[in-house]
Amino acid sequence: MSGFSRSSAVGLLAAASLLTTAACGSGSAETSTTASGGKPEVVAAFYPLQWLTEQVGGSDASVTGLTAPGVEPHDLELSIQQVTELKKAALTVYIKGIQPAVDDAVDPAKSFDAATAVTTIPAGEHAEEEGEEEHGHEELSYDPHLWLDPSRLATAATELGERLATADPAHAQGYRDRAATTAATLGTLDQELTQGLTTCRSRTLVTAHEAFGYLADRYKLKQVGITLDPETEPSPARLSEVAKLAKAEGVTTIFTEALVSPKVAEVLASQVGAKTAVLDPLESKPSGDYLSAMRDNLKTLQTALGCTA
């Protein structure tokens, strides 16, 4: 466990060659609006953005997701066909910093980076220690997991409505109307979370993967992530640091997530005398949808943190 060397040069080289491969396809994208029953084709990079784009696009747009259900979006590699699809799309909706392959392939003139629409928070502070080569977060000054705050996602919905209206002016009103409805729905969810997390015995969130910074920021919780990267094993030093903190703060639950092995969280939980529970970072499609999964997260948090609402 101690032989965790920082082979960052190798990691960067590997990442660079992947990026170069994707960048080679910088061909001309003459057809900005490809007919799909006459509808503009809109590509959404991964689940929460796909959900958002489907809500706002409605029946006026043909929405395709790049990341298949059950796939960790950070690891996505694009097929040649997907790069072509992305180049042809009227609009690509993504968040810079989540998927290096997508960041590299998007055409800035025909893409919407949702992180540009919201106030971002800084990236996790132990990012440097944990070997972040493959996560795509390494060059980022901000945390890209913004969809875990419904109020920020509502802001992104409004801006997405404007971008779709520009890409497809004939249906501008429809996009703007649905963006307003979506923002209102997200506003209701935000209120439920605010109320549900007002009075809690503990406000410390120990998570497997540091994905919940925006949830913590919005609802005044304190996130302690075991790792920033879902793929990286924490160093023994980090693990004992988190264990000490969890004990000091009387943490009763260590949160895991569906796409990450619960092993590390289970080890930590047994050290601290806590149990584990699944909190969904929504990086992949849940069994319901974005709204129902966030409501499930609220229930999980209320139980784990001892909230009375």
Taking the complex as a whole, how short is the minimal distance between the CB of residue 283 and Zn ion, in angstroms?
Answer: 6
Contact 119, 21 (CB under 8 A): no
Contacts with 76 (C-beta within 8 Å, 6 or more apart), sequence order:
46, 66, 67, 99, 101, 102
Nearer to Zn ion, 73 or 161 (CB): 73
Give strand pairing partners of 111.
92
Q: Which of residues 199-218 bind Zn ion (CB under 5 A)?
A: 211
Alpha carbons 118 and 171: distance in angstroms, whole number: 25
Contact 300, 279 (CB under 8 A): yes
**Residue of 89, 56, 43 lying closest to 172 (CA atoms):** 56
Taking the complex as a whole, how short is the minimal distance between the CB of residue 229 and Zn ion, in angstroms?
Answer: 8
Q: Which of residues 250-279 bind Zn ion (CB under 5 A)?
A: none
Contact 304, 201 (CB under 8 A): no
Q: Is 180 helix (H, G, I), strand (E, B) or coil?
A: helix
Taking the complex as a whole, how short is the minimal distance between the CB of residue 269 and Zn ion, in angstroms?
Answer: 21
Taking the complex as a whole, how short is the minimal distance between the CB of residue 145 and Zn ion, in angstroms?
Answer: 6
Residue in the block written with tokens 């949830």: 215
Angstrom CA distances, 78 to 19, 99, 309, stand at: 10, 10, 44
Nearer to Zn ion, 62 or 207 (CB): 207
Each residue 226-255 as x (binds Zn ion by CB under 5 A) or -, in order, gives: ------------------------------
Nearer to Zn ion, 172 or 278 (CB): 278
Taking the complex as a whole, how short is the minimal distance between the CB of residue 223 and Zn ion, in angstroms?
Answer: 13
Contact 174, 135 (CB under 8 A): no
> Which two structure tokens, joined as six digits, stand for 304?
């784990």
Nearer to Zn ion, 147 or 219 (CB): 147
Nearer to Zn ion, 42 or 211 (CB): 211
Contacts with 177 (C-beta within 8 Å, 6 or more apart), sequence order:
none
Nearer to Zn ion, 62 or 67 (CB): 67
Q: How big is the site for Zn ion, counted in residues (CB under 5 A)?
A: 1
Each residue 12-51 as x (binds Zn ion by CB under 5 A) or -, in order, gives: ----------------------------------------
By beta-carbon distance, which residue lies closest to Zn ion? 211
Taking the complex as a whole, how short is the minimal distance between the CB of residue 143 and Zn ion, in angstroms?
Answer: 9
Taking the complex as a whole, how short is the minimal distance between the CB of residue 230 and Zn ion, in angstroms?
Answer: 6
Nearer to Zn ion, 211 or 279 (CB): 211
List of E strands, 199-244: 204-209, 222-227
By CB under 5 A, name the binding residues for Zn ion: 211
